[in-house]
């Protein structure tokens, strides 16, 4: 699946300036649905894969996301949001909501997502009575806009706090502003600005209680999922550079061997971070703050590994490799854009706060060592 996505996404990325319908990875998500992977994050009792829903199921999810990123970072980004949304429905939804989500995935192949980013004109919920609300405002970076038909959208409640809403996009038709999305990479995620003003929602569209979305370890701890996609992107870049140099017969130079030794160690270190994150997530007596701090370390460590891989590949392939039709310029743009996740300084501060406030010795900070 990763190799197939890599080949097709390269074709999509060669079509700048085309309407979003022509650059969104429609075929890739058809293949994903055919393989049953849209249901990977659904609980097993709803005919899903049960990933991150039970013991020893966190690492398989991270490995799946890593392979998605290896094949295509835009596909991996959208797929990670889909998995995140289904995990949230399984965590906070009613049996009816979870049953509907399962039917929408299995029978209708709907793509879910999570749209939370906003500015001053963000989404507010206006109470209409009888549990109904009217949405007012917009979200930014809505990945898959126009193709994700079941996004979870957060809105500010009149009394304060944030409420998750499952928005049936085909029924309400919000205003999608594709022209807002002018990125330097990840173009085919079509992460538009979406204005939800005037849309009315009923009680069945509300997911969980106020501020459930921000509950840890699920909120901050969820960084391990996009970190897995990012590591896959670095791995795909590494593989492409190695194949390129092999094709040119330029693998014997000591400097190339040095660079690839460093990149290989980095990618393996990233894989170990993911294994550690999965262990911390599942091994009692881990607590929310502990899981969140380890997830933050995983995120920041993998970010540095990705940046080091970008630098190593640029030096290895040289200016010739950064020219079309070689894939490196495209892959580097995608990875650079995707690495710009929000609030990296606050993430580092959270790690330091946990480490400084924990009275235990360093080897007992995390329940990740073998039992």
The secondary structure of 147-208, three-state, reads CCCEEEEEEECCCCCEEEEECCHHHHCCEEEHHHCCCCCCHHHCCEEEECCCCEECHHHEEC
Task: List the chain pLDDT tens, one digit each, 371 residues.
Answer: 999 998 887 766 655 544 444 789 999 999 999 999 999 999 999 999 999 877 789 999 999 999 999 999 999 999 999 999 999 999 999 999 999 999 999 999 999 999 999 999 899 999 999 999 999 999 999 999 999 999 999 999 999 999 999 999 999 989 999 999 999 999 999 999 999 999 999 999 999 999 999 999 999 999 999 999 999 999 999 999 999 999 999 999 999 999 999 999 999 999 999 999 999 998 877 789 999 999 999 999 999 999 999 999 999 999 999 998 889 999 999 999 999 998 999 999 999 999 999 898 888 887 655 44
Q: 218-364 sits in which CATH class? A: mainly alpha
Helix (H) or strand (E) holding 127: strand 124-129
What CA–CA distance (Å, rounded) separates 346 from 318? 35
Contacts for 317 with CB less than 8 Å, ≥ 6 apart: 241, 244, 245, 326, 328
**Per-domain boundaries in the chain:** 2-111, 114-213, 218-364
| Start-to-end Cα distance in the chain | 35
The token pair at 183 is 């990125």
Which pTM was predicted? Answer: 0.95
Work out whether the CA dihedral 68, 72, 78, 80 comes out positive or negative.
positive
The token pair at 218 is 């699920």
**Bridge partners, 292 (sequence order):** none
Give residue for tokens 């038709």: 173
The token pair at 36 is 């049953």
Q: 114-213 sits in which CATH class? A: mainly beta
Q: 2-111 sits in which CATH class? A: mainly alpha
What CA–CA distance (Å, rounded) separates 362 from 232? 29
Work out whether the CA dihedral 69, 74, 75, 79 comes out positive or negative.
positive
Q: Is 130 helix (H, G, I), strand (E, B) or coil?
A: coil
């Amino acid at each position: 699946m990763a190799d197939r996505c890599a080949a097709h996404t390269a074709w999509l990325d060669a079509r700048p300036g085309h309407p979003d319908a022509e650059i969104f990875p429609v075929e890739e998500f058809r293949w994903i649905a055919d393989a049953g992977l849209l249901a990977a994050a659904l609980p097993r009792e709803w005919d899903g894969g049960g990933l991150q829903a039970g013991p020893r199921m966190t690492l398989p999810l991270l490995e799946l996301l890593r392979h998605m990123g290896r094949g295509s970072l835009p596909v991996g980004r959208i797929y990670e949001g889909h998995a995140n949304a289904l995990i949230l429905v399984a965590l906070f939804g009613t049996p009816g909501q979870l049953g509907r989500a399962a039917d929408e995935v299995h029978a209708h192949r709907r793509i879910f997502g999570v749209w939370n980013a906003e500015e001053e004109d963000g989404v507010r919920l206006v109470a209409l009575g009888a549990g109904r609300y009217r949405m007012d405002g917009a979200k930014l970076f809505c990945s898959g806009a126009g193709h994700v038909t079941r996004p979870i959208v957060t809105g500010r409640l009149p009394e304060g706090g944030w409420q998750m809403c499952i928005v049936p996009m085909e029924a309400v038709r919000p205003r999608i502003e594709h022209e807002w999305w002018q990125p330097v990479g990840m173009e085919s995620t079509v992460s538009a600005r979406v204005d939800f003003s005037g849309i009315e929602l009923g009680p069945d569209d509300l997911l969980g209680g106020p501020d459930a979305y921000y509950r840890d370890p699920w909120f901050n701890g969820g960084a391990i999922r996009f970190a897995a996609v990012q590591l896959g992107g670095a791995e795909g870049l590494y593989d492409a550079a190695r194949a390129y140099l092999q094709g040119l017969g330029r693998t014997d130079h000591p400097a190339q061997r040095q660079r690839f030794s460093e990149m290989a160690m980095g990618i393996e270190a990233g894989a170990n971070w993911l294994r550690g994150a999965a262990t911390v997530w599942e091994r009692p007596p881990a607590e929310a703050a502990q899981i969140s701090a380890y997830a933050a370390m995983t995120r920041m460590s993998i970010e540095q590994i990705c940046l080091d891989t970008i630098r190593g590949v640029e030096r290895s392939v040289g200016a010739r490799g950064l020219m079309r039709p070689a894939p490196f310029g495209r892959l580097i743009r995608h990875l650079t854009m995707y690495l710009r996740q929000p609030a990296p300084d606050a993430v580092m501060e959270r790690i330091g706060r946990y480490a400084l406030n924990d009275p235990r010795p360093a080897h007992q900070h995390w329940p990740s060592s073998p039992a």
